[in-house]
Structure 1
Amino acid sequence: MAAAKNAGQSKAEAATPPAEAAHRPAPNAPQFTREEDLHAYHEMLLIRRFEEKAGQLYGMGLIGGFCHLYIGQEAVVIGMQMASVEGDQVITGYRDHGHMLACGMDPKGVMAELTGRRGGYSRGKGGSMHMFSREKQFFGGHGIVGAQVSLGTGLAFADHYRENGKVSLTYMGDGAANQGQVYESFNMAALWKLPVVYVIENNRYAMGTSVARASAQTDFSKRGLSFGIPGEQVDGMDVRTVREAATRAIEHARSGQGPYILEMQTYRYRGHSMSDPAKYRSKDEVTKMRDEHDPIEMVRKRLLELHGVPEADLKATDAKVREIVNDSAEFATNDPEPDPSELWTDILLEANA
């Protein structure tokens, strides 16, 4: 029995493709204008620097609980947002800080929530995984794996019912894609032709197990075939290919044709959470991905070589971004903690008589 088990593990491990082999860059990526590349560079750099600072504050004990960083995956949410329009909704799992910033939420409010302060988006009671902004059409941050998929489908149902022309951008990871409620949501979304784009951020390892060892079907773009949901694999490390695919998918959903699945082939540089040493992959693998496929460095190189942007200008952008992030950290560490009376708020919603 043990021998059979070990043999099965060896076979699975042998079949596990390295991240480099699984990453297939688009051969002919669409081109960005100078302004589009500058925008993408600034927005992705803001997420990168913010997450680096969050990691520092966590290490200092100023952020408690779980903390999942988005470093390496920035091109996915920025490319998606570049293709969306005002009013489209965003909902995601617990690796959510990047999505908040991409939606235009204030870095000070996000960082203050991470440190559990009054000025946080959930008044210091939600932490890293539970922040919302109705104003920015961001509906969370959800700690339960896959829970946001059914909620995002519900947002799309409301859009369909109200005929408001909005699209729900519902994000999940490769691990969440194996949850049962995901397929219940797929069924209903296809049945009623709901305006939802399911974005599967395949960063290869879920909580720490390679997709080849955890998923019988590793092409996540095919997960909706039995429901008639079209899908495609996308180079999630290139913001240009993300924006191009997102434009197609969002138009499909907005035009009344129903849901669409985008599998973003991306990669996280850090562990699953701050407590994860990520020993299930080699340091060489991470280094190779950073050196050859880093989403921010690719844009930086285009700005220098293709658009002729002076390096001094990019350094100025980095300095500006660092200032924004440092200001958010300063605010988050000096803002007062919630009053104990906050324990009894946001519990019951009473309808007006």
Structure 2
Amino acid sequence: MRKMLAAVVSRVFSGEVQKPPLRGLLASFNFSSKATCDIKKCDLFRLEEGPATSTLLTREEALKYYRAMQVIRRMELKSDQLYKQKFIRGFCHLCDGQEACYVGLEAGINPTDHIITSYRSHGVSYTRGMSVKSILAELTGRRAGCSKGKGGSMHMYHKNFYGGNGIVGAQGPLGAAYNMSALWKLPCIFICENNRYSMGTAIERAAASTEYYKRGSFIPGLRVNGMDILCVREATKFAANHCRSGKGPILVELLTYRYHGHSMSDPGISYRTREEVHDVRSKSDPIMLFREKMVNNNLSNVEELKEIDAEVKKEVEEAAQFAITDPEPSVEEIAHSIYQQSTPFEVRGTNKWIKYKSIS
């Protein structure tokens, strides 16, 4: 194998042949088809047993998860750039650092399950099936955006996804409040993404008890390593099985970290040190940890993962270019898509002489 690769490389540099696709060469490597991976035990509340402490990871799953996390990371970094270039305006909450939460969550449920979330929802918007183009186009207020350019960062919607509520905690009562879900034993998983800060206040300064997985009181809870995608996946599977078996709701706290500030107006370093952020990046980054797990278990290698990184970068760059050139929605469409399956009717504009048509 080494001789074959050396021969190909020497011919490339000599100009005899064009550089072959790396994937073709990598297909010849003897990668493992699957591996058993150990994961950290979850903390339990009102539960006799919890998720498994080891899980089977296939090579196909690993490549899929890795790519999805890289897409979310690149998309958020590009959003940061577009905001600073003033292509994105208004509120914008980025989720880089929390990629394992969204990819792991989606891997543990079914596409037919429903998700209601708050803002900072770009990552879960992508895992729910939205394209990078539709997300970035929504951020720049373009017609091809997932909410037709009218919602922006905090209001993204898709099939079985009712995302982005700007009011803090609004997704709780919109989905099912704690008391109602426990009283009626509703199949509901409450997810707490604990990224260690409530806006600019550290959780230790804001809460007498930071054990949020116990906050349901009469609802069972799990506390999970949210920087490990496999830990999130297995915890979500456990929680979903708990709900589907008729045991009622469950609360899952994901211990994670956001690299950006609360929003784009927050530099994120006035209430925490640069050293703290760097320490998390260097020791607990979810993409780095998963990359190491894949390589150590012979599910991939550095060369293949670098090629995936390049593909993702190209996809996000193309989506960003689309997002700044796609037409903006016309003013006449301002009242469109407010109601579903409603006959058209007139809506008054900023004064009584301006009227728009509401069309489903």
| TM score, norm. by length of structure 2 | 0.79
Deviation, 1:58, is 0.5
- Residue equivalent to 2:223: 233
Alignment counterpart, residue 330 of structure 1, candidates 307, 321, 334: 321
The 3-state SS of whatever aligns with 1:253 is: helix
- Residue equivalent to 1:224: 216
Matched, 1:319 2:310: yes
Q: Deviations over 1:283-317 (max 9, x none)?
A: 11111111000000011112222215232211110
The answer to which structure has the higher strand fraction is 2
Alpha-carbon separation, structure 2, partners of 1:75 and 1:284: 22
Matched positions, count: 294
| TM score, norm. by length of structure 1 | 0.80
Matched, 1:43 2:68: yes
- Residue equivalent to 1:149: 172
Q: CA 1:74 to 1:312, structure 2 compared with 1: closer, same or farther past 3 Å?
A: same
Q: CA 1:349 to 1:247, structure 2 compared with 1: closer, same or farther past 3 Å?
A: closer
Identity fraction in percent: 48
Q: CA 1:348 to 1:233, structure 2 compared with 1: closer, same or farther past 3 Å?
A: closer
Matched, 1:60 2:85: yes
Q: Give RMSD over aligned pairs.
A: 1.7
8 A contact 2:102–2:124 mirrored in 1: yes
8 A contact 2:147–2:157 mirrored in 1: yes
- Residue equivalent to 1:215: 207
Alignment counterpart, residue 342 of structure 1, candidates 312, 318, 333: 333
Matched, 1:94 2:119: yes
Paired letter, 2:170: A
Alpha-carbon separation, structure 2, partners of 1:350 and 1:307: 52
Alignment counterpart, residue 26 of structure 1, candidates 13, 22, 40: 40
Alpha-carbon separation, structure 1, partners of 2:262 and 2:55: 31
Deviation, 1:211, is 0.9
- Residue equivalent to 1:190: 182
8 A contact 1:112–1:332 mirrored in 2: yes
8 A contact 1:193–1:257 mirrored in 2: yes
The 3-state SS of whatever aligns with 1:324 is: helix
Q: Deviations over 1:226-260 (max 9, x none)?
A: xx210011000000111111111011111211110
Give the greater-gyration-radius structure (CA).
2
Matched, 1:244 2:267: no
The answer to which structure has the higher helix fraction is 1
The 3-state SS of whatever aligns with 1:261 is: strand
Deviation, 1:31, is 5.0
8 A contact 2:224–2:232 mirrored in 1: yes
Alpha-carbon separation, structure 1, partners of 2:72 and 2:60: 19
8 A contact 1:31–1:240 mirrored in 2: no
Q: CA 1:284 to 1:29, structure 2 compared with 1: closer, same or farther past 3 Å?
A: farther
8 A contact 2:129–2:158 mirrored in 1: no
Alpha-carbon separation, structure 2, partners of 1:308 and 1:195: 35
Structure 2: give runs of 5+ residues left out of the alignment: 1-38, 42-52, 344-360
